[in-house]
Structure 1
Amino acid sequence: MRALTPREITLGALVLFGIGITAAVALLTNFSGTTPAERLDAIRTSATLVVGTGGAAALWLAARRQRSAELTLAHQQKVAADDLLDAKERRLTELYVKAVEQLGSDKAAVRCGGLYALERVAQMNPDQRQTVVDVICAYLRGPYALPPDKPGTRRLGVPRPLVNSPTRIIAPEAARRSANTSPAQRDQERRQEREVRLTAQRILACHLRPGTDPKHPVGTFWNDIDIDLTEATLINADFTNCHIRTATFTRADFAGEASFRQATFTGKSWFDEASLAANGNFEKATFTENVSFAGTSFFGTASFRGASFAQDALFYETSFTGLVAFDGASFTRVTSFADARFGGPTTFLGATWTASSEEMNYGAIVTFQGASFAGIAVFHATRFGDFTSFQSVSFAREALFERAHFAGEAIFDESSFGATPRLADTHFTRDVPPELRLAHADQNEAKPGSPELGQ
């Protein structure tokens, strides 16, 4: 409140004095012809009015002082709160800066301490969790070459030249000292760095699980987190049951097992050109938005059993070396396996599809037994291996097999077609399946050089 000036105080006093004098004069004038007792009452009443007016002024000044005191107290409390917030921010900044500095240490134990310090910062400050995750992901994106598991054995990791290239050194601190260390010392440093990276991965996975890890109490879950692990080297990555918003694993190297079983991706996900050295487990994973595995290499088993693809699922130019399983998977929208390569047995048992893809190259065995195609099933120019099964498959609409090539036995027993399958220029190395003979003969009858029925 604005302070009263001496002039305002003097003016207020004169006003009150004038009110009192005016009231007294008015009363005495009106009772001038009355008895002495009545004039005395008039004087007393005038004095009472003057005193009452002064009391009202005193009450107003007291209320003003009280209000001023309350405003002063509120201001002091705000200043104290601001000071506390500033102290908290300074402490947070100091902890954050110190933790980041620890990540640059040449000692593995100090780097682990930096990771745990960052975890503590995120736990105490929910608004800083995404920032902390970004820092941990940035650390994992740093170049790293895996050490041999045992002396004389092949180095564990993705079988690509890039992983073991001399240009990919472990952590930045190793690069500063690599010229002055022996191969044995560098391997030891890499082993220590591997433990640091495993710690970083465990911190991420722990806080991306919504209270499902018995080793950690409920309430450690960090919701709505984006992770960017582009070109990161991940060792036995375990993101089982994790809930991730946007996930970027473009050109990531997965050394050892990689598990995303029952993981939920609420945003877009990219695994383009990633390399999985061992088994990749995506069983019962849920992809709410688009997901891309374009150019990804699976060198072990790739399991997508029970996975749910709510939006576009892109597997074009994907390479599968081992067993591939999409049993019970659900493909809701556009699904592309264009130019994908399947080196081992491939199964889509009971899968639900809206469409297939063009120019696929399956391995020796592929089965779609019990699958359901709600939309147009497209197998243009697809090459099938020694055994292909479409047994009990439901084709709700057209099934397009133009220019497809069946190198071995093809089974279509108990399959149902919503429309006549398209078999123009389709080649069957063995007998044409009985369920397709009529359509195959009609569409290839007038074409010179077409394979005869049953050939």
Structure 2
Amino acid sequence: MTSANSRRGETTGLWSIRRHIVAVVLIGLGVFAVATVLLWLALGLPAAPGPDTKLNVVKIALSVVAGVGGVVALVVAYRKQRIGEAAEAREHVKVLNERFAGACAQIGHEKPTVRLAGMYAMASLADEWAEQRQVCIDVLCAYLRIPYEPALDSPWHHDEESEVRFSITSVISDHLRPGAPVSWQGHEFNLLRVILRSADFADIQVTGGRLLFSLARFPGGWTSFDGMHVSGGEVWFGGAEFLGGRVSFDNAEFSAGRVQFDGATFTGGEVTFRGARFTGGEVDLSKVSLDDYTTPPVFDPWETPPPGLLLPGA
């Protein structure tokens, strides 16, 4: 029993019940001694106290003992409350872990409808579980990083798996847009080597954290970053391949932070920055090889590039 109480005390940050009671009793005795001395001084240090004085001293002693007993009862009640709260917190974490495991199992299911359900369950869990939100985000991003080639039987190369992936990117975008009920700003989104044929990142804000599209492939379809506002953090397109389709940054604003295209290739499709505003920060394409810049992005006309926009060969 003692060891069990000790373990409970460790998990709740409390002393053992024995230490608590001993401490309270010693404090009570100390208060009693001080009160007795002060009373004695107030009575003029009588050498032979009368019956009334003795009676008063006994009353004070009994009052102190009753007070100590009351404090002990309060300590016991306080400990019960703290232990109950700790047990409730452990149970809550247990439920969250079970939900996490269930969502992971759904995401790995062979049926796309079940995978979709698991994806939404994981996103909901991320909203509720702030302490492990990054882990939930990592699971969603890891799914997108699984190697995948879209079907080739339609202009959009759309299939069931594409729908699952589009839904994941939409959920991420919804949590990065202004007014999101729960914001995921400041976290890392590791989309290294993803294949994006259809994704809607329009109007997202990046105020911190990192959004990583390094080595991503854009083979066709349409991926929209229209209205994107980067005011902090980092967005990486290092080594990304813009091979076909359309990738648009139209009306985006870059006011702070860094957007890097180191080693990216622009060899097909259309990448546009029409109406984009470069008001601060850095958008760096200077390390793109001219050999990989055969289909350069489309910008608004200018005499000289705006500050913060670094182009190949500059």
1:336 aligns with 2:311: yes
Q: Distance in 1 between matches of 2:125 and 2:80?
A: 29
Partner of 1:259: 224
Which of 286, 307, 319 pairs up with 2:253?
286
| Alpha-carbon distance, 1:53 to partner | 0.6
Is this contact kept in 2: 1:303–1:326, CA < 8 A? no
Equivalent-residue separation in structure 1 for 2:120 and 2:160 (angstroms)? 16
Q: Cα distance, 1:79 vs. partner?
A: 0.6
Contact 2:236 2:259 in 1 (8 A): yes
Equivalent position amino acid for 2:226 in 1: R
Say whether residues 1:26 and 2:1 are aligned partners.
no
**What is the Cα-based RMSD across aligned positions, in Å?**
2.9
SS of equivalent residue, structure 1 residue 227: strand
Aligned residues: 267
Change (3 A) 1:53 1:326: same
3-state SS of paired residue (1:69) = helix
1:137 aligns with 2:103: no
Match of 1:233, SS state, is: coil
Cα displacement string for residues 33-78 of structure 1 (whole angstroms, at most 9, x for unaligned residues): xxxxxxxxxxxxx221111111000110111111111111211111
Which one-letter code corresponds to 1:195 in the other structure? E
Kindly tell me: are residues 24 and 208 of structure 1, through their superposed partners in 2, closer, same or farther at Cα, counting changes over 3 Å? closer
TM-score, normalized by length of structure 2?
0.75
**CA pair 298-60 structure 1, distance change in 2 beyond 3 A:** farther
Following superposition of structure 1 onto structure 2, how do residues 292-303 of structure 1 map, counting pairs within 5 Å?
292-293=260-261, 294-297=263-266, 299-303=268-272
Within 5 Å, give how 1:209-224 maps onto structure 2.
209-211=177-179, 218-224=180-186
Question: 2:169 — aligned with what?
Answer: 201
Q: Deviations over 1:378-431 (max 9, x none)?
A: xxxxxxxxxxxxxxxxxxxxxxxxxxxxxxxxxxxxxxxxxxxxxxxxxxxxxx
- 2:128 aligns with 124
Given that 1:283 and 1:307 are in contact with CA atoms closer than 8 Å, whether structure 2 keeps it comes out as no
**Paired residue for 1:307?**
277
CA contact (8 A) 1:304 1:327 kept: no
Cα drift, residue 261 of structure 1: 1.5
Cα 1:230–1:326 change in 2 (3 A) is: farther
Q: Structure 2 matches for 1:18-417, cutoff 5 A?
A: 26=48, 46-150=50-154, 156=157, 191-211=159-179, 218-244=180-206, 245-254=209-218, 255-265=220-230, 266-276=232-242, 277-287=244-254, 288-293=256-261, 294-297=263-266, 299-305=268-274, 306-308=276-278, 310-311=281-282, 313-315=284-286, 316-317=288-289, 318-321=292-295, 324-327=298-301, 331-333=306-308, 335-338=310-313, 357=314
Find the structure with the greater CA-based Rg: 1
> How far is the alpha carbon of 1:252 from its aligned partner?
1.0
Higher relative contact order (CA 8 A, sep 6+): 2
- How many angstroms does 1:121 deviate by? 0.5
The one-letter code matched in structure 1 to 2:110 is D
Where does structure 2 lack aligned partners over 5 or more consecutive residues? 1-19
Q: TM-score, normalised by structure 1?
A: 0.53
Secondary structure class of the residue paired with 1:194: helix
Of all paired residues, the percent bearing the same amino acid is 25
Question: Structure 1 residues 310, 331: closer, same or farther in 2, change over 3 A?
Answer: farther
SS in 1 for 2:201: coil
Show CA shifts across 1:247-291 (max 9, x none).
211121224111112212322222123233212211232342332
Go from structure 1 to structure 2 and tell me whether the alpha carbon gap of 1:333 and 1:197 turns closer, same or farther (over 3 Å shift).
closer
